[in-house]
Amino acid sequence: MNNAAFEIDEAEKRRLLGELLAGRLPDDRGRFGPFGGRFVPEVLVPALDRLEEHARAALADERYHAELASLQRNWVGRPTPLCQAPRLSELWGADIWLKREELAHTGAHKINNALGQALIAKRMGAKRVVAETGAGQHGVASAAACARVGLPCVVYMGAVDVERQQPNVVRMERLGAEVRAVESGDATLRAAIDEALRHWAGDPIDTHYLLGSSVGPHPFPWLVRELQAVIGRETREQMLDQAGRLPDVAIAAVGGGSNAIGFFHGFLADEAVSIVGIEAGGTGAAIGQNAATIATGEPGVLHGSMSLLLQDENGQVQETSSISAGLDYPGVGPEHAFLRLVGRVSYRSITDNEAMEALDACSRMEGILPAVEPSHALAGARTIATERPGATIVVNLCGRGDKDMPILMRHWGQR
Partner 1 sequence: MTPESGPDIGAAAIEAAIRSPKAGGPALVAYLTAGFPTRDAFAGLVQEVAGVADVVEIGIPFSDPMADGATIQDASRVALEQGASLGWALDALADAFPSGPPAPLVLMSYLNPLLRFGMERLAERSVAACVSGVIVPDLPYDETDEVAGPLRERGMGVVQMATVVSSAERLRLVGEATSGFLYAVTSLGTTGSGSLDTSGVTRFLDDLRAITQAPVCAGFGIRTPDHVRSLAGHCDGVIVGSALVETIGSGGSAGAFLRSLRIG
Stretch that binds partner 1, among 38-46, 239-247, 275-283, 407-415 (CB under 8 A): 38-46
Q: Is residue 205 a contact residue for partner 1 (CB under 8 A)?
A: yes
Strands 178-182 and 207-209: unpaired
CB 341 within 8 A of CB 35: yes
Site for partner 1 in 228-247 (CB under 8 A): none
Q: 26 vs 262, which CB is nearer to partner 1?
A: 26
Q: Is residue 154 a contact residue for partner 1 (CB under 8 A)?
A: no
CB 399 within 8 A of CB 371: yes
Q: Report cis status (omega within 30 of 0) of the bond before 370.
A: no
Site for partner 1 in 7-36 (CB under 8 A): 29
CB 258 within 8 A of CB 401: no
Q: Is residue 4 a contact residue for partner 1 (CB under 8 A)?
A: no
Angle between helices 110-124 and 137-149 (to 10 degrees): 40
For 175-178, the CB contacts below 8 A with 24+ separation are 175/140, 175/143, 175/144, 175/147, 176/143, 176/146, 176/147, 176/152, 177/139, 177/142, 177/143, 177/146, 177/153, 178/152, 178/153, 178/154
Pick one of 39, 178, 288, 295: the residue that binds partner 1 (CB under 8 A): 39
Pick one of 33, 247, 304, 380: the residue that binds partner 1 (CB under 8 A): 304
- Residue 221: CB minimum distance to partner 1, A: 15
- Residue 27: CB minimum distance to partner 1, A: 13
CA 248, 350, 105, 211 torsion-angle sign: positive
Q: Is residue 38 a contact residue for partner 1 (CB under 8 A)?
A: yes
Q: Is residue 317 a contact residue for partner 1 (CB under 8 A)?
A: yes
Q: 45 vs 409, which CB is nearer to partner 1?
A: 45
SS3 390: coil
Q: 192 vs 356, which CB is nearer to partner 1?
A: 192
Site for partner 1 in 342-381 (CB under 8 A): none
Pick one of 62, 271, 313, 387: the residue that binds partner 1 (CB under 8 A): 313
Alpha helices in 159-188 (DSSP H): 159-164, 166-174
Q: 93 vs 299, which CB is nearer to partner 1?
A: 299
Q: Is residue 93 a contact residue for partner 1 (CB under 8 A)?
A: no
d(CA 392, CA 89): 9
Q: Is residue 203 a contact residue for partner 1 (CB under 8 A)?
A: yes
Name the residues that contact partner 1, by CB under 8 A: 1, 29, 37-43, 45-47, 184-185, 190, 194, 197-198, 201-205, 299-304, 309, 311, 313-317
